Amino acid sequence: MLQEHAKIVDFISMAEGVTGRKKLQKMIFILKKMGLPFQEKYEFHIYGPYSEELTARIEELCDMGFLSEQLEDKGSYMQYKYTVTKEGMDFRNMLGETKVADQAQAAKLNEKSGRFLELTATLLFFDDLERAEQIEKLHIVKGKLNFTEEEIQQAFDFIDELQS
C-alpha cells in the first residue's frame, strides 16, 4: 500500500511541485493512460476524469508530513501547491523502487495549463471511441468550456507526443 503513496511522492518530486489539485489529478490520469503503473481508480466527474483514491492519498501524504500543501492566491481564485518535504524524500528513498515517471515527462505535463490537461484527460477518457466521436463526446460533457478546434488538435498532438 505505501508503495502507491511513494509513487505519488516520486512523481511530485520529479515535477518539482505541482500547483492545482485539478492539474495533479489530470497529470496522473494521463500518465496512467500512457501505461504508467499508477493504481488510482478514476471516474468521470465535474472537471473530467477524477480519482477519489488519489485525493485521499494526497491528503494522507500531507497528514504524514511527506507532502507540503500551500494555498496560493491567484487573484480571482485560490490554488493548492504541492511539494515534497525532506521527510517525504526520505520516505520515497526508503521504499526503494517507486520510480514511475521521468523528469522530462513530468516537466512536459507540468508546463501545460489546467484547462489543457482537462481537455487532454477528457479526450483520453473516451479513447475507446473514434476521433470524431471523442470530439462529439467532449462537446457534450464539456460544452461550457468551448474548446476550439485548434486546442483539440493540440491535445491530440500532445497525446501522440506522449505516446511516442
Partner 1 sequence: MSYATSKLAEEKVFKDPVHRYIHVRDQVIWDLVNSREFQRLRRIKQLGTSYLVFHGAEHSRFNHSLGVYEIVRRISDDIFHGRPEWDEDERLVVLCAALLHDLGHGPFSHSFEKVFNVDHEVFTREILLGDTEVNRILLKVAPDFPQKVADVIAKTYTNKQVVSLISSQIDADRMDYLQRDAYYTGVSYGHFDMERILRVMRPMEDQVVIKSSGMHAVEDYIMSRYQMYWQVYFHPVARSAEVILRKILQRAKELSESGYKFEQPPTHFKAFFNRSFTLKDYLALDEGVLMTYFQLWMTERDPILSDLSDRFVNRRLFQYVDFDPGKDYRKLGELGQLFREAGIDPEYYLIDDSTSDLPYDFYRPGEEEERLPIHLLMPTGDIKELSRLSQIVDAISGKRRTDYKLYFPAELLIDGKKKAIKNQILGMLREGGV
Q: Closest CB to partner 1 among 35 and 164?
A: 35
Instruction: Choose between 94 and 107: whose C-beta lies nearer to partner 1.
Output: 94
Determine the 3-state secondary structure of 129 from DSSP. Answer: coil
Q: How far is CA 28 from CA 8, 16, 86, in A?
A: 9, 15, 22
d(CA 45, CA 60) in angstroms, rounded, equals 21
Give contact residues for partner 1 (rule: CB under 8 A): 1-2, 5, 20-22, 25, 39, 41, 43-47, 50, 52, 55-56, 59-60, 63-66, 76-80, 87, 91, 94-95, 114, 137, 140-141
Are 88 and 65 a contacting pair, CB within 8 Å? yes
Closest to partner 1 by CB, 78 vs 104, is: 78
